[in-house]
């Protein structure tokens, strides 16, 4: 394996490995890069929240918090996030849930429309947490 200036972080033995060829969290210096988190139960893989974008957003942010915790960070360490929405009209609903989980000053955030194959929301994030 080639030497890299970053290292992957495991979510733990009780969480299944990603289905694809990617790391769920990577540390590069003081930065953490978290792969797209979706509203799935991390242990069973079942989608949580049905057709309720608020419930799906809450589960997605809980999964983001779990990924960050594996690296010793919290949601308050997030400096930037990208939110992918199946329906851009859901922006006000996810923004309300966002305010339940983040406090001012808020991290940067970009919201984009995307085809998400059966889910309503996905979030990627970058966090700052000194090593």
Q: Which of 1-10, 20-29, 40-49, 86-95 has the lowest mean pLDDT?
A: 1-10
The domain segmentation of the chain, as residue ranges, is 23-128
Query: Length of the chain, please?
Result: 131
Mean pLDDT value of segment 82-94: 97
**Confidence band of 16 (pLDDT split at 50, 70, 90):** confident
Cis peptide before 36 (omega within 30 of 0): no
For residue 75, give every residue at least 6 positions away whose Cβ sits within 8 Å of its Cβ, in sequence order, or none: 61, 64, 65, 68, 101, 102
Chain CA centroid to CA 119, Å? 14
What topology is assigned to 23-128 in CATH? 60s Ribosomal Protein L30; Chain: A; (3.30.1330)
* Burial (Cβ within 10 Å: 0-12, 13-18, ≥19) of residue 17: exposed
Specify the 3-state DSSP secondary structure of 60. Answer: helix
- Under 8 Å between Cβ of 121 and 50: no
pLDDT at 119 over 80: yes
CA distance 118 to 131: 37
> CA–CA distance from 127 to each of 6, 15, 30, 64, 122 (Å)?
14, 21, 8, 11, 16
pLDDT at 1 over 70: no
Average pLDDT, the chain: 93
């Amino acid at each position: 394996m080639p030497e890299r200036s970053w290292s992957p972080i495991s979510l733990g033995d009780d969480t299944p490995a990603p289905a694809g060829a990617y790391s769920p969290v990577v540390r590069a210096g003081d930065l953490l890069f978290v792969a797209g988190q979706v509203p799935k139960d991390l242990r069973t893989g079942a989608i949580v929240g049905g057709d309720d974008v608020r419930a799906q957003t809450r589960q997605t942010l809980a999964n983001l918090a779990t990924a960050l915790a594996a690296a010793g960070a919290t949601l308050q360490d997030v400096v930037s996030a990208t939110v992918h929405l199946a329906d851009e009209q859901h922006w006000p609903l996810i923004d309300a849930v966002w305010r339940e989980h983040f406090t001012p000053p808020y991290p940067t955030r970009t919201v984009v429309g995307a085809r998400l194959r059966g889910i309503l929301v996905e979030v990627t994030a970058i966090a700052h947490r000194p090593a």
